Amino acid sequence: MKSKHRVVIVGAGPAGSVCGYLLKKAGIECVIVDFATFPRDKICGGGLTPKAYALLQELEPRLRYKYQGVNRFRLMMDGKTLCVVNLDKELRMVQRKDFDYKLLKQYLEAGGETIKDSFSSFEELDNGGIDVTLASGRHLLCDYLVAADGSNSRVRRQLPGKNSGNTLWMEQYVAKSTNEFVFEFSNSYKKGYFFSFPGMEHDAIGMGGFYSSPKEIRNQLDSNTIRTSDRNQGGRLVGANISIDTVDSGKDNVLLIGDAGGFANKLTYEGLYYAIATARNACNAIVEGKIFAVANRHMFRRKRKEIFIANLCYSRLGLWLCKLAAHSPYIIKKAFEKYY
């Protein structure tokens, strides 16, 4: 069976749903393919930064979702508090199961269609179109293929030389007891950080970094001070990759967005803002007939800057500077607010 579509989007996470919704609003026919049954969960701290919720508000002012506002964060180094900062703008803690479903429903209410199936492969046709094959054997013919299928993107894996470097992040849900974010750096753990995030129903603690194996992460967690006693109370320790090598497909009609394109922040590994922003840019590229590399150029430029900042921050010098700056919570607050 072959059906013809203007745009096929693989993945109904925030990147895919927002892209689909904006395309529908612009009058462009599209379909989203996802193998999951929604509402589905996603391993994630669920922190929506001010720039992320401001962008969502700009794209759809009527969107409503449940969240818990948090205004305080604590910066730690090897078990010691360096500073506590009160933020002017809250971070919004969402539950991904609920939040992602809200975004998907927005797309469906705009008349969007979904197909519950798994993307298998795509083939470029002589007429410039694309033939997408799904696991069920179904074929979708389209003008554009948007890959929004997350960190382990199968679409991306089919593009020669575009496989991604991943960081591994582990997370455990523990009883709710904190109302502040904790970020802890360590001299023994160079390319990442520990975190404790307050959630609506539970708190999330975990850590992540580049080249980390599950074993290394578990050992590090054991030596870390963040709510160690809670971790022994039978919480669930789970892990997920975040792809951090940002790539462009090199093809005008295959667009990689969100985690599939490796757009998460190289320093903080925040991903939701970047999923939404690249979804908007993909929609603009399709609507205006522009090349994605052009419509998304600010994001590609930003990623290059982030690599420089991340290398500095996770270096010996960077950690030392961080410690020094922490004597002035004002500087930390300004740096944090600039990023978030």
Residues that bind ligand FAD (CB under 6 A): 10-16, 33-36, 42-47, 118-119, 148-150, 154, 169, 171, 206, 240, 242, 258-260, 264, 270-272, 275
Token pair in block for residue 284 = 């603009």
Nearer to ligand FAD, 80 or 92 (CB): 92
- Distance in Å, CB of 126 to ligand FAD, minimum: 26
- CA–CA separation, 301 vs 324, rounded Å? 29
Enclosing H/E stretch for 123: strand 119-124
Calculate the alpha carbon distances from 261 to 18, 48, 110 in Å: 15, 20, 26
Contacts of 321 (CB under 8 A, 6+ apart): none
Nearer to ligand FAD, 157 or 323 (CB): 157
Nearer to ligand FAD, 110 or 331 (CB): 110
- Distance in Å, CB of 260 to ligand FAD, minimum: 6
- Distance in Å, CB of 317 to ligand FAD, minimum: 27
Listed residue (228, 256, 253, 232) closest to 243, CA to CA? 256
Name the residue number minimizing CB distance to ligand FAD.
271
- Distance in Å, CB of 225 to ligand FAD, minimum: 19
Nearer to ligand FAD, 16 or 20 (CB): 16
- Distance in Å, CB of 52 to ligand FAD, minimum: 6
Nearer to ligand FAD, 259 or 306 (CB): 259
* The residue type at 111: G
**SS3 of residue 317 by DSSP:** helix
- CA–CA separation, 248 vs 260, rounded Å? 10
Calculate the alpha carbon distances from 168 to 140, 209, 240, 248 in Å: 33, 6, 6, 22
What is the 8-class DSSP label of residue 181? E
Nearer to ligand FAD, 76 or 149 (CB): 149
Nearer to ligand FAD, 158 or 284 (CB): 158
- Distance in Å, CB of 285 to ligand FAD, minimum: 17
Nearer to ligand FAD, 302 or 323 (CB): 302
Please list, residue by residue across 196-224, b when 16 or more beta carbons sit within 10 angstroms of its beta carbon and e when fewer do.
Answer: bbbbeebbbbbbbbbebeeeebeebbeeb
234 alpha-carbon distance from chain centroid: 27
63 alpha-carbon distance from chain centroid: 19
User: Contacts for 306-310 with beta carbons within 8 Å, 24 or more apart?
Assistant: 306/265, 306/266, 306/267, 307/266, 309/266, 309/267, 310/266, 310/267
Token pair in block for residue 267 = 């320093």
- CA–CA separation, 270 vs 265, rounded Å? 5
- Distance in Å, CB of 328 to ligand FAD, minimum: 26
Nearer to ligand FAD, 40 or 323 (CB): 40
- Distance in Å, CB of 129 to ligand FAD, minimum: 20
- Distance in Å, CB of 249 to ligand FAD, minimum: 15
